Amino acid sequence: MEKVSARIMVRAPPAKVFAFLARPANLPKVIPLVTSASDAGGAIRAVVSVGGMDAPLDFRKVLWEKDRGIGLRAELYGAVVEIGLLLKPAKGGTDVQATIGYDVPASLAAFLPRDYKPRLEEGIDDSLRKLKAELERA
């Protein structure tokens, strides 16, 4: 499984960061590819828009530790996507580390743009900047 990671310091306590991230309706505010998200019991149902196509994904909650972290896993057509968000108290706020792991079968990889990995890296950085802006403006 390939992974991309990034981190950012948010001037908000871990409880506030976790509360924001734990509400699925907030995900489209910080993840550009997610157009909608809702709670589906033990999962989060998200609609992800890629290349003009919408794909519904059910992310299972594999880690859900209040004020500490969230881990989600989805599978679609043999592709696996894992999202991890770790929250660590830090002086003046919370250190947020985000990791996206992905495993795409060769049969699907042919449909991805060649520069998908740099796009993922840019996307994770952009998402963390949006999270910081959302939480620090309140």
Q: Is the dihedral of CA 44, 19, 69, 97 positive or negative?
A: positive
Percent of the chain with pLDDT over 90: 64
* Residue 42 half-sphere exposure toward CB, CA atoms < 13 A: 4
pLDDT at position 120: 80
Model confidence at 28: pLDDT above 70: yes
Between 117 and 39, the higher pLDDT residue: 39
Maximum alpha-carbon separation in the chain: 46
Tens of pLDDT, residue by residue over 58-102, are: 999 999 999 999 999 999 888 898 999 999 999 999 999 999 998
pLDDT at position 51: 67
Domains, the chain, ranges and CATH?
A: 2-136 (3.30.530.20)
Tokens coding 8: 């950012």
